Amino acid sequence: MSHSTVPRSSTEAAAPEKTPVASGDAIGPREKPPAGKLTLRHRFRRDRVMVLMTLPAVLLVLVFNYLPIAGNVVAFQDYDPYVSDNGVIAILNSPFVGLENFQRIFEDSAFWNAVENTLVLFFVQLVLFFPIPILLALLINSVVRPRVRAVAQAVLYLPHFFSWVLVIAVFQQMFGGAGMLSQLLRQNGYDGIDIMTNPDTFPFLLTAQSVWKDAGWGIIVFLAALASVSPDLYEAAAMDGAGRWRRMWHVTLPALRPVIALLLVLRVGDALTVGFEQILLQRDAVGPGAGEVLDTFVWWNGVRNQDFGYAAAAGLIKGVVSIGLVLAANKVAHLMGEQGVYKK
């Protein structure tokens, strides 16, 4: 296809109005037809290549996101993993026990401990993590030298691309029993400390890791919102006598409000997921008393203890409550006049 033959203007593109669209098939321009002009069959023939292109993704989603929903029946079974290596055959050969798994869960203190840890972590992270990207974004936004800004952003974004394994390894080398901090303390005549295995400070350790890894990355959405504020607003405010801080309060913060609301909604909707990989990697170091959350509870009982029915029941409880939280958080956002994740 040589470039000279490509018509650039829309008048040229609209030229072949004489060719009937339907018979044009894949060749005719895909213009919006008046409603009801094309039958479904014609539309399918026209768009079959487009539909075909989505097929691999749709298949993957159907198999790995939708199909496993059916697997939640094991929550109502005394699932026996030793019947067969094939999960489907094992499900068909396992007896149904009704709500017995759920009864056991509600009487299990380990489960309630996991619930408590999950909620504590959610709140600690919400209070200590959430404001930091906003403050960092305001800081970066006030840096006017383009090169300084680019370098600072490159550094701040970097840890987001590190794996959790690496981030925790870095923290271990800094704050572990043989880490930098202990080394410095010992060299100066104090006892070394091991923050990595201390259950009391675990929520704060996790938050510190999240901040180190993702706070810098979190500024992107805020920077975009800040960039969309018209400079005229600042000028007008300055003309009216508003100083630096009043401009921030009356111009900058209102511009950030929708983004903050959206991110809060997303976070609350996802409240029961508090960093599965990160916590699973450190669960053994601090012990399940402090390190067990809902997701690791499911992992421990299912994958480790092979008590699949029990673990699936715990997972199902979490899943159902999570969907409720997403819907509720959106409802609240709509009531407050903000746009949530989806529209009304």
Partner 1 sequence: MTAVIDKPVRKPRPWAAPPRPAWEEEPSKAGLAGKGIALAFACLAILFPIWIVVVTSLSSRKTIDEAGGLVMVPKGITFIAYQELLSGGQVTRAAIISILVTLVGTLFSMTVSVLCAYGLSRSESFGHRWILMTLLATMFFSAGLIPTYLLVQSLGLTDSYLALILPSAISVFNILVLRGFFMGISQELIDSARIDGAGDLRILWRIVMPLSRAVLAVITLFYAVGYWSAWFNASLYLNDQDMMPLQNVMIQLVQRQEAPVGLGQAIKTGQLSGLAIQMAVMVMALLPVAVLSPFVQKHFRKGMLTGAVKG
Interactions with partner 1, residue window 237-276 (CB under 8 A): 238-239, 243-244, 276
Stretch of 86-94, 106-114, 121-129, 198-206 lying at the interface with partner 1 (CB under 8 A):
86-94
Is position 16 an interface residue for partner 1 (rule: CB under 8 A)?
A: yes
User: Binding mask 308-327 vs partner 1 (x if CB under 8 A, - otherwise)?
Assistant: x--xx--xx-xx--xx--x-
Beta carbon nearer to partner 1, 119 or 149: 149
What DSSP element (H or E) covers 211? none
Beta carbon nearer to partner 1, 91 or 271: 91
- Alpha-carbon gap, residue 201 to 286, rounded angstroms: 10
Beta carbon nearer to partner 1, 150 or 336: 150
Q: Tell how far CA 313 is from the center of its chain.
A: 23
- Alpha-carbon gap, residue 94 to 78, rounded angstroms: 6
Q: How far is the CB of 204 from partner 1 (least distance, A)?
A: 16
Q: How far is the CB of 25 from partner 1 (least distance, A)?
A: 10
Beta carbon nearer to partner 1, 192 or 199: 192
Is position 139 an interface residue for partner 1 (rule: CB under 8 A)?
A: yes
Of the candidates 176, 178, 168, 170, the one whose C-alpha atom is nearest the C-alpha of residue 279 is 168
Residues 6+ apart with CB under 8 A from 41: none
Query: Which of 105, 265, 295, 340 forms a contact with partner 1 (CB under 8 A)?
Result: 295
Stretch of 53-61, 97-105, 114-122, 249-257 lying at the interface with partner 1 (CB under 8 A):
53-61
Is position 92 an interface residue for partner 1 (rule: CB under 8 A)?
A: no
Using CB under 8 A as the binding rule, the residues of this chain from 189 to 228 that contact partner 1 are: 212, 216, 220-221, 223-224
Of the candidates 336, 335, 313, 333, the one whose C-alpha atom is nearest the C-alpha of residue 325 is 333
Query: Which of 93, 103, 183, 305 forms a contact with partner 1 (CB under 8 A)?
Result: 183
Q: 193: buried, middle or exposed (CB in 10 Å: 19+, 13-18, 0-12)?
A: middle
Is position 165 an interface residue for partner 1 (rule: CB under 8 A)?
A: yes
Of the candidates 277, 230, 261, the one whose C-alpha atom is nearest the C-alpha of residue 334 is 261
Of the candidates 165, 166, 263, 282, the one whose C-alpha atom is nearest the C-alpha of residue 217 is 263
Is position 7 an interface residue for partner 1 (rule: CB under 8 A)?
A: yes
Residue 201, classed as helix, strand or coil, is: coil
